[in-house]
Structure 1
Amino acid sequence: MKNRFLFVCLFVTSICLAQITIKGKVYQVNEPLEGVAVYLNNTMLGATTNTDGEFSIPVKEGQYDLIISYLGFKKINYALNTTEYNKPLIFNLEETYDLLDEITIKKVIYDEDWQYNLTAFKQDFIGITELSEKCILLNPHVLYFDFNTNKNILTAYAKKPLQLKHKGLGYLITYELESFVRNKNTVTYLGYSRYQELKGGKRKQKKWKKNRLKAFNGSVIHFYKAVLNNSFTEDGFIVNQFKRVLNPERPTDTVIKKAKELVRLSSTKINFYTDIKRPKSALDSAMVVLKKIQLPKFIDYLYKSKLSKDDIITFKNEAFYLSFKDNLSIVYTKEKEELRYITRNAFSKKREPLPQTSSLIPLEKNIFLDRNGILINPLATFYEGYWSYEKFGNSLPLDYITDSNF
């Protein structure tokens, strides 16, 4: 069965050409609040309120998630459309009593179990790529973990924003974790991030510039932007279309469940290595069924190769939409897989690196894609393959611009 990963980072940002300045004030019961973080989600654009509770952020025209965050108060996620902005914004924060913080987090024991869960969290959130190794979680002790052994579900909570220092990309990142759940082979995380440039000399700046371009090339954002520009073939992407169907050779989940129950209730000594060619009993039939569990649940059928822009997106009502049937297999030919990707699973066999291949699985129809290659609803898709391997440690702010002016 293929491992499936769903990585979600909430963001809504659209960047155009003209620039304006967004101004506003933040209050608490009519008293100005100093030190409130006000920023555009997943970008380097933000400010901190002054003694009068005022903030000012120069931005390019577009649509944004404006985040107003202050410890001990309810976070505000304000949908900002600069075309509708005509006067200073006013926000009133409400205090919050975090039951999790007061009761649960205080009971955290930083023992071997906590350390084990932390390692799993960092692998599933930051990643195991070469670049992610340079992304350091500075304050891991703000994390609390809950592991359900029966359902194999790991949940993570944070009582304060995560602070990450990415020495490979040159960013200090504040990440406000809203939720993190690893359920068997699926990982979902939601949150808000703010990027700040690290200081460094010419040598570091050159290294960061190179690494950022490497992180961008072949990424999800690179692909979407290249599709909009109709340059994805030139940029090294080959897009194929496939259909996913149930594997007729693999028993259904219901049949497998019944077989397991029959074996469990059997008083007969069972040799699981016996080769049963012709079942002579219900128990033999159950054993045959259980030997087929390892077969993939689904089979992918490729039925169209080298798609064009019109096969992937449509333009209607002054907006772009992902509007293809079934699923996309996307091959990025200008970079090979990392060795860590090839050997990421315990039973993986070493082989020669191939071009990076990812699958794009839509969860909705007609998914809105803004003019800058950003999904307005990132929950509408999930990714398999190489894009699922590249996690937060390979992420860039949405206002990152390459030398080629993507």
Structure 2
Amino acid sequence: MKSYRSLLIFPTFLICSTVFGQFTITGKVVDSASKEPLYGASVFCQNTTSGTITNKEGEFSLKLNPGGYELIVSFTGYQNKEIRISNNDNNALQVEMIKEERSMGEVVIRSSNEVKDGWDKYGKFFLDNFIGSTPNAVQCTLQNPSALHFYYYKKSDKLKILATEPILISNKALGYDLRYQLDSFMYYYKTQISLYRGYCFFTETQGSFQDQKTWSENRKKAYYGSKLQFMRSYYDSTLNENDFEIGLLDENNKAKFNVIQNPYDTSYYTIYDSTFESEVYYPRKISVSYKIKPET
């Protein structure tokens, strides 16, 4: 008998993939007003280990595997920049950064809703909802909890969390160090729904040969049944082979999901040959089930 693991995802998302060799993205980061180069700006592809910083001329270069990426550019005192890139982009980027009107530090200090001893009161709650409570998540450590500020709004019964700097997370189970630029984290107690937005950059942890071997095995286990494997399987037309099943919320029964027999029907799935991007759209919430095969 097969067991199932399910997750709910948003109705729309993009998948990108190609079969060609690596490509290089180059560009220059400047102040939008003065056009002066910004030295030391962070440039990275979200949710990857691909990143760099700009040189004294504000220039950067990144070699990437084929596909589509969300390129994030950040610099202290400036608004973050998010740019969609793929291996079809051949021109050098000119990234103009806009200065922040107020720093995050000023914003959090002026709020009257901040909870004193917020980390002591809500720290574990935040970690459980942001990182999770799986065996891998338990081995994650937040290195700079003092960067977080907690705000409770009694009237709307919600918790809001802001960060004055990127939060640093060490994942000892998978051998990654994460630098997450948290825009905001919200938790609504009435509906028990949490929402957060930000940008994450991964770097691989240094370790012994045995550490690297353990991390490699753990990463494989974490990958199977993950959202990433699901998206790749969708693009590669291997959903069935990889034991994924999609259900669409019934129009009349909000507790029932009907299995979609053909997830590649043009009502749900569109592929753009010129950009190598695929768009998936569902009119209502879907469930994704991964049928975990018993170990033999």
- Asked if these proteins are the same fold (TM beyond 0.5), I'd say yes
- 1:25 and 2:28 matched: yes
State the match for 2:97 in structure 1. 93
C-alpha distance in 2, partners of 1:80/1:325?
A: 27
The residue that corresponds to 2:185 in the other structure is: 180
Partner of 1:307: 261
Aligned to 2:143: 138
Comparing 36-45 with 101-110, greater Cα deviation is found at 101-110
Q: Alpha-carbon deviation of 1:333?
A: 2.5
Contact 1:216 1:222 in 2 (8 A): yes
Corresponding residue to 1:105 among 104, 109, 113: 109
Q: Residues 169 and 106 from structure 1, CA distance in 2 versus in 1: closer, same or farther, beyond 3 angstroms?
A: farther
Residue among 54, 59, 63 paired with 1:54: 59
Q: 1:232 aligns with which of 231, 239, 242?
A: 239
- Structure 1 pair 110/214, CA: closer, same or farther in 2 (3 Å)? same
CA contact (8 A) 1:105 1:159 kept: no
- Structure with the bigger percentage of helix: 1
Cα pair distance change 1:125/1:177, threshold 3 Å: same
TM score, norm. by length of structure 1: 0.60
Q: How far apart, in 2, do the equivalents of 1:107 and 1:242 lie? A: 40
1:191 is aligned to 2:195: no
Q: Percent identity?
A: 27
Which amino acid is the alignment partner of residue 60 of structure 2? F
For the 8 Å contact 2:71–2:83, the answer to whether it is kept is yes
User: Any conservation in 2 of the 1:38–1:66 contact (CA below 8 Å)?
Assistant: yes
Give 1 or 2: higher strand fraction: 2
User: Which is bigger in relative contact order (C-alpha 8 A, separation at least 6)?
Assistant: 2
1:222 paired residue number: 229
| Other structure's SS at 2:135 match | coil
Q: Which has the larger radius of gyration?
A: 1
Cα distance in 2 for residues equivalent to 1:327 and 1:102: 38
- Aligned counterpart, 1:45: 50
Q: Tell me the alpha carbon deviations over residues 125-146 of structure 1, each in whole angstroms, 9 at most, x when there is no partner.
A: 0111111011111111111111
- Deviation, 1:104, is 2.7
8 A Cα contact 2:246 2:263, kept in partner: no
> In 2, distance between residues paired with 1:68 and 1:316?
28
Query: What TM-score, normalized by structure 2, do the two folds share?
Result: 0.80
Using a 3 Å threshold, how does the CA distance of structure 1 residues 330 and 39 change in structure 2: closer, same or farther? closer
The equivalent of 2:250 in structure 1 is 243
Gaps of at least 5 residues in structure 1 are: 247-297, 337-406
Residue 195 of structure 1, CA deviation: 0.9
Structure 2 unmatched runs, 5+: 1-6
